[in-house]
């Protein structure tokens, strides 16, 4: 394996210097708060598990009141999503908007645009943690 690495190294250097690995990046969000401006609490994970979901909410549909016991962030890819907390906070997301979701606070999302809302969400928690808990 090391033999191949040595042979590939000059080729990689040439590609890098030619700009073949050049990439642009844009910070979508960097924060220490959730969308309701409350501080993100420190997390301690013994058995880390990351889950990424693509969630589609049909236009006009409202999700059940729920909460997340673990940290999660999302990115709305299409549609319009309005998120409402039980405390009365409201956030409206348009395509391209990121969200640092609420943790342990009851809330729901509603697809308020004319097309289905699609959001990609990444959850970071312990292996035994659910990503959502529905309020009964």
| Chunked mean pLDDT (size 10), the chain, 136 residues | 44 52 89 95 94 98 97 98 97 98 97 98 96 96
Question: Cβ distance 68 to 125 under 8 Å?
Answer: no
Domain containing 54: what range? 32-134
**Residue 135: predicted pLDDT:** 96
Q: Is residue 8 part of a domain?
A: no
Q: Is residue 7 part of a domain?
A: no
Structure tokens at 85: 């907390």
How far from 25 is each of 60, 72, 82, 86, 117, CA to CA, in Å? 34, 21, 27, 35, 25
* Overall number of domains in the chain: 1
Q: Is residue 9 part of a domain?
A: no
Q: How far apart are CA 84 and CA 14, in angstroms?
A: 52
Q: Is residue 24 part of a domain?
A: no
Q: Is residue 83 part of a domain?
A: yes
Rounded to two decimals, the pTM is 0.80
Q: Is residue 130 part of a domain?
A: yes
Question: Cβ distance 88 to 46 under 8 Å?
Answer: no
Q: Is residue 12 part of a domain?
A: no
CATH number at residue 55: 2.60.120.10
Structure tokens at 107: 């809330």
């Amino acid at each position: 394996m090391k033999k191949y690495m040595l042979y590939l190294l000059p080729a990689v250097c040439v590609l890098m210097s030619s700009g073949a690995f050049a990439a642009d990046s844009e910070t979508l969000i960097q924060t220490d708060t959730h969308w309701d401006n409350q501080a993100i609490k420190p997390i301690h994970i013994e058995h880390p598990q990351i889950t990424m979901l693509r969630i589609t909410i049909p236009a006009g549909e409202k999700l059940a009141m729920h909460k997340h016991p673990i940290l999660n962030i999302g990115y709305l890819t299409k549609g319009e999503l309005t998120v409402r907390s039980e405390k009365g906070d409201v956030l409206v997301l348009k395509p391209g908007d990121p969200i640092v979701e609420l943790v342990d606070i009851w809330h729901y999302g509603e697809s308020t645009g004319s097309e289905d809302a699609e959001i990609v969400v990444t959850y970071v928690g312990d292996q035994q943690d659910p990503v959502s808990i529905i309020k009964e």
